[in-house]
Amino acid sequence: MADELFRSIAIAGNPNTGKSTIFNALTGMRQKVGNYPGVTVEKKTGRFFGSHGEPMELIDLPGSYSLHARSPDEAVARDLLLGRVAGTPRPDAIIAVVDASNLERHLYLAAQMLELGIPVIVALNMVDVAEQRGLVIDLVALKERLGVPVIPMIASKGTGIIELKQAVSRATLAKPEHHAQFPIVFELEVVALSKKLQSPAETARLEAMLLLSLDTKDLGERCTDPAIHATVTSAQARLRTHGIDPLAAPVDARYDWSAEICSASVHRRGEDTEGLTISDHMDMVLTHKVWGWLAFLGAMAAMFACIFFVAQWPMDWINKGIGALGAWVGGLMPDGDVRSLVVDGIIGGVGGVVIFLPQILILFFFLGLLEDSGYMARAAFIMDRLMSRVGLHGKSFVPMLSSLACAIPGVMATRTIENRKDRLITILVAPLMSCSARLPVYIVMIALLLPTASTWQRAGIMLGMYLLGFIAAFGMAFVFKRTLLRGDTPMLLLELPPYRAPAVRGIIQRMWERALIFLRRAGTVILALSIILWALLTYPKPADPSADTSTRLRHSIAGRIGTGLEPAIAPLGYDWKIGIGLVASFAAREVFVSTMGQIYNIEDADEESQELRDRMRDEKRRDGSPVFTPLVCLSVMVFYVLAMQCLSTVAIVRRETGGWRWPLFQIAYMTALAWIGAFITYQGGLLLGFR
């Protein structure tokens, strides 16, 4: 229970410092993910036990460079440390995670935390990287000058976790007394302003300093009290008369303080270490304007090859298990609608989606490797050359790459983008990236398109679909930047973290979390949709009980919907059965496969996926020609690359943008784009003589 907790601890730090690795190492599986009240920023908390067995709550703050917030993520981190977040108490202590190999720069945020009046424990992470760079850190000198506990750590190997627990467990953590020293005139203005703020005494000083450091525009947006606004403006004017820049003074003071501490506690070993490091040599290749692109495309191709090859074995096991379950349950029940509902609707519908879990997990595993190894930032760097030409912010790449797994975290990751227009453009185009929910559609269509293709051939087609998503996203960003959301192209300022061995345990834990989310979705949303779809495919029944499967299906509600939609989708090469799949999968793309499974296996849910593909391959039109020609398969894949088809993403976009205007626009433009893309693919192929 929350009231039984001994202490509430916040873990904070710059991005790429290993903060999440430490959080996972401390909390293990005792984690909970939600959202902070009133905002869409993710709230991640976990329970752990101190060295004496006392329970504690750990709050994982979003990565921040400063408490002078420029993005929603940084604003939440700042507000929580200042006690402004409703329903979340101000933490009793802070674990400040800093990168030992970039200590001077990372101490800036730590300097602000030391000014909060909360006990601070510095987790000096990646000391192994610092040693590789020839850096020697005098821990005694560092502790003396910071005035707080400093724990050397290699979080990826679990080194220092026990010592960190011991430091946090100390019942009487002293509040820090050392922090940066500011000009006396600035300090006097801070004290005077803090007395006029309606804030707790322990946070009033930093609140005042943050207000004095705002420019005119930000002050007008963040300070709604006219009296305080006037007081701040007057104080800033007085400081300028003394030759002090209120915006730069605290920044300069903290960096001077950081430089002084590092000068006394960090030394470089040997003269030869001034040369290029291993990371530098790797970057000469991986960030090269030619080799960098080849490396990126090679990594993507390897990922898709594993999605096809490695995942095939567990997919076969799952498929056989689902088939055996359907046969066993079907054998226990008499023929009738209830048996059909359970076997065809529930087991067949949900099982048709769950079978793709191994491929989705492989995708998350590769993305975890890219992020933990430090390569993700390099990929963003090489992509910025292209993204800046279409007007996208360089920071947009990480949300877009995250959307390869799922558009929901991708859209939420746009909170790191400071400019509202750039953030909105990224939100609008992020769902064009091929997420894991599209994988089932691609895999089935590729198998129909090239039934005898090799693993690398299938991976090549898959890569082509992902590249199409990239191109579409960049193209629409170019259009939006020059029409609806005009603005200057921002400059990318990006930190390139050192290469490091991925924390496999953390990656596996994130895969486990995503697996639970996927299975929960399969057991709720997809289950409900499967039952509804079964009812739509079954009722009303034709008057003639001896009618064949096709007649019964066309007579059903779903059949009538598909038939009514057929004139609009016929130019794309689709028949009314594919139309049913398009409508059913509007809520979730992966439902398309289970819908096809119910349509083509409506009498026998025991058939394996290969047999389903055979049924789809043998499907004929009224004139006797096959439905799923290679051209139609390509058209279907193009449609799903470009279409929205995900109500969960629509809901997140509504929350991120604060209304229905942009989500509805997004649905409209992506649906139109999908229809046009599929039309060009099919009709253009016919003109070129393909079938």
With a cut of 60, say whether residue 226 has pLDDT above it. Answer: yes
Question: Beta strands of 114-220 (E only): which ranges?
Answer: 120-125, 135-137, 150-152
The structural domain count of the chain equals 4
237 plus 104 within the same structural domain: no
pLDDT at res. 393: 66
435 plus 300 within the same structural domain: yes
pLDDT at res. 31: 62
Q: Check which CATH number belongs to the domain holding 61 and give it.
A: 3.40.50.300
The overall average pLDDT reported for the chain is 80
pLDDT at res. 37: 41
User: What is the mean predicted confidence (pLDDT) over 441-470?
Assistant: 84
pLDDT at res. 35: 45
User: Does residue 321 lie within any of the structural domains?
Assistant: no
Task: Pick the more confident residue, 501 or 628.
Answer: 628
User: What is the mean predicted confidence (pLDDT) over 79-88?
Assistant: 80
Q: Domain end: 502, 521, 545, which one?
A: 502
User: Does residue 280 lie within any of the structural domains?
Assistant: no
485 plus 421 within the same structural domain: yes
476 plus 580 within the same structural domain: no
476 plus 585 within the same structural domain: no
158 plus 22 within the same structural domain: yes
User: What is the mean predicted confidence (pLDDT) over 231-252?
Assistant: 87
Task: Pick the more confident residue, 109 or 604.
Answer: 109
With a cut of 50, say whether residue 38 has pLDDT above it. Answer: no
535 plus 678 within the same structural domain: yes
User: What is the mean predicted confidence (pLDDT) over 356-363?
Assistant: 75
Please give, one letter per residue, the 3-state secondary structure of 338-399.
HHHHHHHHHHHHHHHHHCCHHHHHHHHHHHHHHHHHCHHHHHHHHHHHHHHHHCCCHHHHHH
203 plus 153 within the same structural domain: no
Query: Angle at which helices 439-449 and 630-642 pack, to 10 degrees?
Result: 170
493 plus 549 within the same structural domain: no
With a cut of 80, say whether residue 688 has pLDDT above it. Answer: yes
Q: Domain end: 435, 468, 502, which one?
A: 502
User: What is the mean predicted confidence (pLDDT) over 110-121?
Assistant: 87
Give the range among 221-235, 260-274, 473-487 with minimum mean pLDDT: 260-274
With a cut of 80, say whether residue 518 has pLDDT above it. Answer: no
With a cut of 60, say whether residue 604 has pLDDT above it. Answer: no
Using DSSP bridges, classify how beta strands 120-125 and 31-35 pair: parallel, antiparallel or unpaired. Answer: unpaired
* DSSP letter, residue 522: I
654 plus 518 within the same structural domain: yes
Percent of the chain with pLDDT over 70: 86
User: Does residue 649 lie within any of the structural domains?
Assistant: yes
pLDDT at res. 660: 87
User: Does residue 556 lie within any of the structural domains?
Assistant: yes
Boundaries of domain holding 154: 2-169
pLDDT at res. 484: 82
pLDDT in tens, 44-83: 888 888 777 788 888 888 888 888 777 777 788 888 888 8
Q: Domain end: 169, 192, 217, which one?
A: 169
364 plus 386 within the same structural domain: yes
User: Does residue 262 lie within any of the structural domains?
Assistant: no
User: What is the mean predicted confidence (pLDDT) over 253-257?
Assistant: 88
User: Does residue 264 lie within any of the structural domains?
Assistant: no
Tell me the pTM: 0.62
pLDDT at res. 609: 57
User: Does residue 621 lie within any of the structural domains?
Assistant: yes
Per DSSP, helices labelled H in 450-589 are 455-481, 504-521, 527-538, 549-555, 557-569, 576-584
428 plus 497 within the same structural domain: yes
User: Does residue 510 lie within any of the structural domains?
Assistant: yes
Using pLDDT thresholds of 50, 70 and 90, give the confidence band for residue 492: low
Contact 667, 644 (CB under 8 A): yes
